Structure formats: C-alpha cells, structure tokens
Amino acid sequence: MLEELVSRLAVVVVGDSDGHLGRRVEALEQEAVMLTLLNSRLKSLEAEQHLLNEELANVRRSSRRWRRGIYLPEFVYY
C-alpha cells in the first residue's frame, strides 16, 4: 500500500502543471504518514489478538482439566 502511495506521488510530481504541486505532495505525505500509523496500530492489534488467543487456549485447557477432575493448579499458595 505504501508503494502505491509513492507511485501516486511520482505521477503527481510528473503530471502537475497547474502550480498546486506543493499542496498535493503535502496531502500525499500526510496520507503516507497516516497509513504508516494505521499499519503500526494494526500490527499492535494483531499482537494483542495473538496474546488473547493464547490466554483463551489456556482457559479452555484449564476448563477441560476441571471437567475431567485432574486440575493441577499452576500456582500453589501456602
């Protein structure tokens, strides 16, 4: 997606003839920054989802152990 923005920027630079190049380049730069931020947020959410999936798997394992009556607590409190 970032590559697409760069190619669009190149087209604007080459194809501009009405003197508004600065505003267009600035708008595309802002769009590129927004995409970079969104990509970073997406990766963060994917990492969080992975952790939640692991936690859910642990809960399911614990639940199965409880139902079978072989639950072994992970932490022993004295």
User: pLDDT at position 18, please?
Assistant: 62
Cα dihedral 52, 54, 57, 59 sign: negative
CB 12 within 8 A of CB 28: yes
What's the whole-number mean pLDDT along residues 37-44? 95
Interhelix angle 21-68/2-15, nearest 10 degrees:
170
**Residue 1 has what pLDDT?**
62
User: How far is C-alpha 56 from the geometric centre of its chain's CA atoms?
Assistant: 20
Q: For 6-28, write each residue's pLDDT tens digit.
A: 666 666 555 556 656 667 778 88
